[in-house]
Amino acid sequence: MSTKGTHIPDRLKIPFAGITPAPTQAKGQDLFPTGNWRSIRPVYRDKLPPCNNACGTNEKIQGYLDLVKRGKYVDAYALIKEDMPFPSVTGRVCYHPCEQACNRGKYDEAISIRAVERFLGDLGQALTHDVVKAGKPNGKKVAVVGSGPAGHSAAYQLARLGYKVTILEKSPKAGGLNRGGIPDWVLPQDVLDREIERLVELGVTIKTNVEVGKDVTWNELKKNYDACVLAVGLTEPNSVRAKGENKEGVLYGLPFLRDIGMGTSKVKLGARVAVIGGGNTAIDCAREALRQGAVEVTMITVEANPQEMPAVPEDLHDMLEEGVELVHGRAMTAVLGKDRVEALELHRARFSGAINASPITVNRETPAERFHVDNVIIAVGQRAALGWLPDEFKSERGTIKIDRFGRLGDTHFFAAGDVVQLGSGQPLMVVNAVGDGKRVAFNLDKVLRGEQLEPRTIPVDVIFDLNRMNMTYFPHFPRVHQAVLAPASRRKTQEEVIQAFSEAQAVEEAARCFSCGTCNACDNCYLVCPEPCIARPSRSNGLYKILVDYCKGCRVCIEECPTGCLEGVPELDFDTGVVRMDTAFAISPGLHGRQAEELRNLAERAPKNI
């Protein structure tokens, strides 16, 4: 046999000639490699699920749902903690862009990702020791200004990288917006306290009552620390520039919530309260007003209908359940009253433009309306207080000017969170600030180690199309809903409105996950392969192997993969996997070759030998 230049792997050579078992006999498969029947090769290639892509901090949502499904709760908690320092907080407050993106939403109902995250966060809080450990100290000091979501996240990631982190917080209690912007009935203070304890356990020092620009200057930050992350947030409320806005009884949204959160509130609300604004903070203010003793709360928005309000529909629904009235298409033009607010002057108005820095068209030709109130809470956005910042780093939007890595020029200062995201088109959410803090921490680490900064990679293959998965494997199954306090009973208490999942509920909900585009070790390919040429030492993602010597490229595994992580790639794209045979059946020289040889020699042989 002329095998010059051909390659037959040793493992495929026949041990002794003459006995070739049929493929169906014992060991027959070993001698019958059908890999060269193949023109496409199945390849496990995980894609990005849409939830991971939509999440502000790119939590590995599919990963932890899969672990919850298998009962590996601590592993799931450890996975979530890679990207999210406080799952118990975001499990309560997040506006869950992941659930909006969830592919299951196109099929029946999106998965309650937030509720599972809360289940894991609460589980993590109950652990005696956190799963996350501080990195090996590298001797470098970093200051983080602000202990809100972005600052907390940056400090957490830097501590894990081995930095000595000091958080400077101007309020008497750490927590920033998590404490001051989110009411107790959404996020109980003890939950947040526990998460901050966890941060301190990582070795982070938190200095409260330290305000940048007052107690510590720019130059001191520069001198005393190797690097600094500015996550100061938006602290100053916007005004609506109405006449008489300085009258007693006029409150601003975020300070109103902040004072209650910090326990320093002296506000006593009257019976009739109006809230100006249609965003999420306005909704929180309206609901908090009820709990602070108001009897009748009215929300006055410029938007013409509820759908246009820049608020989360669920929260709006909960607010309306609690009995808050909505008035649309009005703008407050004056606060009427002697010293104290007695009524508001409203005009018809139209909202046009972006969520932030809105130009409002007020129609002054129609007669003004008088609206009796005892208090008015103005919640129309916030801005940053950046008096302490050198002018060269201020942007025209009133934010900190950064490059695409979150860095201020060539300095070792970085900025993250709402103070850079305002007006960038990115919605101002806790989870986006956390993601920003995380990325800035990694960039800071690279700068201090003298490495090249790389721009954020664009996710190349996100599965948005249900046709890329095999939907026959997913029966319709309703979403598990979280229990909610009855509207009448929750109106007056600070108790959490939305209740936690039980273990059974969390597992049931996690089991609904499609695991879009990502192998979740369902074993389907292993079972359906007719050859069988899919091998695995144990049932686990990443351990499935295609035996390319035997795979015929029949596509059965690709078609039957429920999650769409298996792909058919043209075999010619691979240099490997060459198994050469002489004929279709045998590795040894073909039967016909031998017969031909005998027949050719026939004439030369003596008749008795035939």
Partner 1 sequence: MSYKELTVWTRGIIMDKEGRDIVNSISAAARLEGKYAQAMENYVDNPDRTNAPTRKYCRVSDGVIEHELTYENEQPNIVVLVEGTMVKGWDYMRGMPPGGTLVINTHYTPEYMIRFVPGADRLAQLVCVDAAHLADHKWLYYRLGELGLDRLSTEGAAERNKMVAPDIAAPLIAAVVKTTGIVKMESIEPMIANKRAFEMALDNLHIMPLNPVAA
Is 572 an interacting residue with respect to partner 1 (CB under 8 A)?
yes
Instruction: Classify residue 527 as exposed, middle or buried by CB count within 10 Å of its CB (0-12, 13-18, 19+).
Output: exposed
Structural element, H or E, at residue 524? helix 524-528
Per rule CB under 8 A, is residue 5 in the interface with partner 1?
Answer: yes
Indicate whether 12 belongs to the interface with partner 1 (CB under 8 A): no
Per-position DSSP letters for 106-123, written without gaps between them: GTS----HHHHHHHHHHH
Least separation in angstroms between residue 554's CB and partner 1 is 8
CA–CA separation, 86 vs 77, rounded Å? 10
* Site for partner 1 contains 14 (CB under 8 A): no
3-state secondary structure of 50: helix
**Stretch of 3-11, 24-32, 232-240, 400-408 lying at the interface with partner 1 (CB under 8 A):** 3-11
**Omega before 532 within 30 of 0, i.e. cis:** yes
The tokens for 99 are 């659930």
> What gap in Å lies between CA 479 and CA 104, rounded to an integer?
10
| The only residue of 108, 197, 599, 601 in contact with partner 1, by rule CB under 8 A | 599
In the complex, the smallest distance separating the C-beta of residue 584 from partner 1, rounded to whole angstroms, is 4
- Candidates 89-97, 290-298, 458-466, 593-601: pick the segment binding partner 1 (CB under 8 A): 593-601
Pairing of β 382-383 and β 236-237? antiparallel
Does 11 sit near partner 1 (CB under 8 A)? no
Residue type, 345: E
* Using rule CB under 8 A, residue 493 touches partner 1: no
Number of residues that bind partner 1 (CB under 8 A): 38
Is residue 203 a contact residue for partner 1 (CB under 8 A)? no
Site for partner 1 in 105-164 (CB under 8 A): none
Applying CB under 8 A, the span of 101-109, 457-465, 494-502, 580-588 interacting with partner 1 comes to 580-588
Give the DSSP letter string of 426-468: S---HHHHHHHHHHHHHHHHHHHTTPPP-PPPPP--B---GGG
Q: How far is the CB of 587 from partner 1 (least distance, A)?
A: 10
Among 35, 42, 50, 175, binds partner 1 (CB under 8 A): 35
Applying CB under 8 A, does 593 fall inside the site for partner 1? yes
User: What stretch of H or E contains 375?
Assistant: strand 375-378
User: For helices 430-448 and 149-160, what crossing angle results, to 10°?
Assistant: 40
Q: Which position among 29, 31, 40, 53 is part of the footprint of partner 1 (CB under 8 A)? A: 40
Q: Does 571 bind partner 1 (CB under 8 A)?
A: yes
Q: Output 217 or 583, the one with its CB closest to partner 1.
A: 583
Taking CB under 8 A as the binding criterion, the range among 245-253, 291-299, 326-334, 589-597 that sits at the site for partner 1 is 589-597
Task: Specify whether the CB–CB gap between 410 and 427 falls below 8 A.
Answer: no
Among 138, 595, 601, 605, binds partner 1 (CB under 8 A): 595
Q: Does 575 help bind partner 1 (rule: CB under 8 A)?
A: yes
Q: How many degrees, rounded to 5, is the angle at CA 214 between CA 212 and CA 215?
A: 80
Q: Kind and range of the H or E element at 567?
A: strand 566-570
The verdict on 1 binding partner 1 (CB under 8 A) reads: yes
Residue pair 121/73 in contact (Cβ under 8 Å)? The answer is: no
Where do runs of H (alpha helix) occur along 263-371? 280-291, 313-321
Rounded to 10 degrees, the C-alpha dihedral 147/212/210/151 comes to: 10
The reply to whether 464 sits near partner 1 by the rule CB under 8 A is no
**Contact flag: residue 582 with partner 1 (CB under 8 A):** yes
Q: Out of 197, 499, 591, 605, which residue is the one contacting partner 1 (CB under 8 A)?
A: 591
Give the containing element (helix H, strand E) for 569: strand 566-570
CA dihedral (143, 148, 154, 157) in degrees, to 10, reads 120
Contact with partner 1 (CB under 8 A) among 31, 32, 38, 182: 38
Residue 244 or 577 with smaller CB distance to partner 1? 577
Q: Which residue has the tokens 């950064």?
A: 402
> Which one of residues 21, 25, 39, 484 is an interface residue with partner 1 (CB under 8 A)?
39
In the shown chain, the binding pattern of residues 527 to 556 toward partner 1, with x for contact by CB under 8 A and - for none, equals -------------------------xxxx-
Q: Residue 117: name the closest of 83, 90, 157 by CA.
A: 90
Residue 592 engages partner 1 in binding (rule: CB under 8 A): yes
Q: Tokens in use for 107?
A: 């099929």
Decide whether 337 or 568 has the Cβ nearer to partner 1: 568
Q: Which is nearer to partner 1, 307 or 472 (CB)?
A: 472
d(Cα 220, Cα 449) in Å, to the nearest integer?
22
| Interacting span for partner 1 (CB under 8 A) from 123-131, 331-339, 405-413, 578-586 | 578-586
Nearer to partner 1, 4 or 266 (CB): 4
Near partner 1 by CB under 8 A, which window of 36-44, 138-146, 221-229, 368-376?
36-44
Task: List residues binding partner 1 (CB under 8 A).
Answer: 1-7, 35-40, 552-555, 568, 570-572, 575, 577-585, 590-593, 595-596, 599
